[in-house]
Amino acid sequence: MSERQPDAAELRALTQELLAAHPPATTEALDFLKARFDAGLAWVHYPVGLGGLGAPRSLQPVVDAELAAAGAPDNDPRRIGIGLGMAAPTVLKYGTEEQKRRFLRPLWVGEEVWCQLFSEPGAGSDLAALGTRAVREGDTWVVNGQKVWTSSAHLARWAILIARTDPDLPKHQGISYFICDMSDPGVEVRPLRQITGEAEFNEVFLTDVRIPDAHRLGAVGEGWKVAQTTLMNERVSIGGMRLPREGGMIGSVAKTWRERPELRTHDLHQRLLTLWVEAEVARLTGERLRQQLVAGQPGPEGSGMKLAFARLNQEISGLEVELLGQEGLLYSDWTMRRPELVDFTGRDAGYRYLRSKGNSIEGGTSEVLLNIVAERVLGLPAEPRNDKDIAWKDLAR
């Protein structure tokens, strides 16, 4: 193939070649996904040799539509969402060629699940205050500390990790970014039971975990800069997910409204109409944001999308509980389990109402995201930060 970007017709032809060589009906799903990656049809905007063809991101739906029509398997993107939405863009931007070739293929095909070791009990909203330490011993870093609110840690093979490598520097400057092996004997994963009864989150204890320097992303001390790529992609992946009209929670409420006329009241009707319009505005804004991603990395606009996602989910789930009356108080499956996926639409209203409370915390609290939107989108003056130039070791804790 020439160095010029392939167009839609060429991508269709390449997809048909893949299907002819690996018929989905007779090819094992994992083998098909590996062949798709090797053909450059995994994420077409990635470089050649890394699952892509250097094509515009906007052409990915062309490939996806051809494969869906042929009944080809997908890579179960919800199960590996942290890897796809957060780890992969960071590895692509800051990883060495060896790191890219080692991690991206098994990540995309779903052989290796990823999690995110960022937040700590004393460093959530103020993530840069984190205290997990990484001390260098030759070509290895020894890591000790605790992380919290870690989705999929009980399933993960790898984790993206930020740790403090120089306590003598101000908090944003003394952080480095690593890829952590979750099978290391020093990694302990404990479940965190939520208000839903489940434990999809975890707390992770790191005791003398040894990470080779070859698994560091970016330069020593530039972990905060690298983490910004992860965080911006995370907020886009949470708040800007692609949905059809009436997709997500608003679809469940609208379905109940149509099928249960005895539940309707004028007040609830007005609220439903308002939320339906807001959900549709958010959906279309998400489409626009994804179009902007074609030109480069996500910006602070993703924080605005994530803000809207959290508020809408909470208001819509609250409306659904009110609409159902006594039925809305039921939660039929309050059991302790370790789910692989968060399923908002396949559960009852009680689950959705409880689970949506976490939307304003995960992926950045709404309060922090409001500051980001104010400063970086609206251009308002930044809040005073008295600890910006103080060594981390000297900060009051």
Active site residues: 234
d(CA 138, CA 123): 28
H-helix segments, the chain: 8-21, 29-38, 60-69, 81-82, 88-94, 97-109, 223-239, 249-259, 266-293, 301-324, 349-355, 366-372
Residue 192 pairs with which residues in a beta bridge? 201
Torsion, Cα 160 292 97 229, to 10 degrees, reads: -30
Q: Which amino acid is at 190?
A: R
d(CA 76, CA 40): 18
Contact 264, 238 (CB under 8 A): no
- Residues shown for the chain: 397
Return the structure tokens found at 286. Answer: 């998400």
Q: Which amino acid is at 353?
A: Y
